[in-house]
Structure 1
Amino acid sequence: MGEAVTGGRSSVPRAFGCAVAGVLVLLGCTGGGAARDAGARPAPSTSGQGSPSAAPTAPAVDLIPELDEAKQPRSAAEARDLLSRIMIGPGTLGPEVVPGTPAESDPDRWPVLDRDCVWQSQAPPADVLASRTRYFQIPARDGHRRVRINATVTVHHDRRESGWETARAMEEILRCPSQRLRDGEELKNLLGASVYQGEQMNGWTEDAFSESGQYVSTEDGGPHRYLWHQAQFGPVTVAITGKGAEGFTDAALNALVVQGTSQLLQNAKQALAKEAG
C-alpha cells in the first residue's frame, strides 16, 4: 500500500529472509505475549531477483493465538470500530513523538502504484472494509532533523484477503524498486522480505513483511533511511513506516518501527483472538 497517498506501504519480495530474522526476534519479544492463514496462503513463495526462499524452520516460541472468526467484522461500521481499537497514538512511540500534519489519512482513498511507479489515490477496493493511517513526527531537535513515522491498520473481510494484500506488495517491489510518492518525494533502492509463520524464527505473525531503502525529498533532504514493517493477524494487517533524518541513527529509527508494529499487532490479537479456556 503506497505510503505516498495514505501513509501505507511500498512493497517487497522475499529477498533477504535471513536479514529480517533479527527483527522477528525483537518483535516476538516486545509483542507482549499472546498469540494469515495456515491453510489459505494467498501466493507461493516469491524469490526476489532469483534469490532462494528461506527454508521453513520451527520458531522457538509461538505467539500467535487462535483467531476467533466470530469476531471478524462483517460490515464497514464493524471494521471501523475494530480499527479504532487497534490503532495507536503518538504516545505509544514515546513522549518525543507528536501528531503530524495532517494527523490522519482520508478513509475514502486507497493508494495504487501505477505503471510508471508513481503512487496514485483511488477509492478503496472491494476487499478493504476499512483502512486508516496516522501520521506522526519527531520534531527537529537535539542535533537531528524531523523524523516521520506513519502507522497503518487495514481491515479486510477475512485472512485470505489480508494475505493477498501482502502478496501484491511483494509483486510491487519487483516491478518498482524505485517509486515516487508524490512530487518532490521518492523511495530508492528498495529491498524487502516476506516471511511466513514458522519460517526464519517467525512465531509472532502469520506473515511478516519488511522493506528498506532510501527516502529522498526536497523538503527533508536525503537520502535518509526508509523502513516499512508489516504484520498480519486474521483479516487485519498493521504496519509502521519510518523515514529517517540527518542526525537520527538508523538504530533509533528501527527501534521505533519495531516498537510500533509490535504494539499494533498485539492490539489486533487482543481484539480478535479466542478467549483462553
Structure 2
Amino acid sequence: MPELDESKQPKTAAEARDLLGRIAITEAAFGPEVVRSTPFESDPGRWPVLDEDCVWQTAGLPADVLATSTRSFHIPAKDGRGRLQLNATVTVHHNRQESGWETARAMEEVLRCPVQKLREGEELKNLWGGSLYLGEQMNGWTEDAFSESGEYVSTKHGGPHHYRWHQAQFGPVTVAVAGKSAAGYTDEDMVAFVVQGTSRLMIQAKQELGKAAG
C-alpha cells in the first residue's frame, strides 16, 4: 500500500473527471470473453441512490462527489451459458474522509435493504455484506474493503443467479466491480472476474495517487 500523495488529489470536477479517465478500465482488464455493453458508460452528472423503499434511482451528484463513472460489460450468452454482466465504477471525492463515508453508506444500505429493486423486472435478494479496514484479516491492499453478495433475479435473464459487489478505497477514490452471474457459471467463475476487475482498478488508482517509491 503506497502512501497517498495529497498533492495529486483533484480539487475540481474537471480534474476529477480527468483522473477517472486514467483509472477506469476497459474490457481487456477482464479477459478476452468480455465485451462492452450498450450503453457503455453512465451519465457523468448522475449518481445512484437507494430510496426509502429499497428501489434504486438516479439523482444529481451529491456535494461530496467530484466525479463518478460506471462502465458496463458482459459475456454474451452462448454454448448453453447465459449472459454474465459486469459493472465497474470509479468515484472521486474531495478527500479520504468522504470516500470512507461512501463505504460506510454501502454497508448501511445492505443492512437496511436485504432486498433491492434495480429496475422493473430486476431484483437483488438475500443480500449481506462485510467491511475490512486495512490490516484486518489479511487486508493489505485497500484502506477499506467492502464486499456484498446475494442473488440476482431477472424476468429476462431468470435466476436466482449469484451476485457479487466488491469495493475498495485509496485516498479520495473508491473503485468497485459488481457481477451478476448467469446459467452455466459457478459463483467462483464470477468472483474471479469481480476480483480481477477490482484489483486492476486499485492498481491504477495507486499509480495515479500514490507517492513515488524511493
TM-score normalised by length of structure 1: 0.76
Pairing of 1:141-220 with structure 2 (within 5 A): 141-220=78-157
Identity percentage over the alignment?
71
**How far is the alpha carbon of 1:155 from its aligned partner?**
0.3
> 1: distance between equivalents of 2:37 and 2:197?
16
| 1:115 counterpart = 2:15 | no
Is 1:227 matched with 2:186?
no
**What is the match of residue 184 of structure 2?**
247
The Cα of 1:250 is off from its aligned counterpart by: 1.3
**2:206 alignment counterpart:** 269
- Post-superposition offset of 1:142: 2.5
Equivalents in 1 of 2:107, 2:30: separation in Å?
27
State the shift of 1:249 in Å.
1.6
Counterpart of 1:77 in 2: which secondary structure?
helix
Q: Deviations over 1:6-28 (max 9, x none)?
A: xxxxxxxxxxxxxxxxxxxxxxx
How many residue pairs end up in the alignment? 214
In structure 2, how many angstroms separate the alpha carbons of the residues matched to 1:257 and 1:233?
A: 18
Unpaired runs of 5+ residues, structure 2, are none
Secondary structure at the aligned position of 1:255 is classed as helix
Instruction: Give the Å deviation of 1:78.
Output: 0.4
Distance 2:186 2:111 in 1: 28
CA RMSD of aligned residues (A): 0.6
* Other-structure match for 1:138: 75
Aligned position for 1:127: 64
Aligned twin of 1:59: none
What secondary structure, in the 3-state scheme, does the structure 1 residue paired with 2:92 have? Answer: strand
Deviation at 1:120, TM superposition (A): 1.0
Distance in 2 of aligned mates of 1:165 and 1:120: 17
CA positional deviation for 1:212: 0.2
After TM superposition, the structure 1 = structure 2 runs for residues 26-175 of structure 1, keeping only pairs within 5 Å, are 64-175=1-112
| Secondary structure, aligned partner of 2:211 | coil
Q: Give the SS at the match of 2:68.
A: strand
Structure with the largest fraction of strand: 2
Alignment-mate amino acid for residue 27 of structure 2 = P
The structural deviation recorded for 1:74 is 0.4
Secondary structure, counterpart of 2:137 in structure 1: coil
Shift of 1:275: 1.0
Shift of 1:260: 0.3
User: Secondary structure of 2:176's match?
Assistant: strand
Letter in 2 for 1:137: H
Report the counterpart of residue 197 of structure 2 in structure 1: 260
Secondary structure of the corresponding residue to residue 254 of structure 1: helix
Secondary structure of the 1:256 match is helix
The letter of the residue matching 1:83 is L
Where in structure 1 do 4 or more consecutive aligned residues deviate above 6 Å? none
Q: State the one-letter code of the partner of 2:180.
A: K
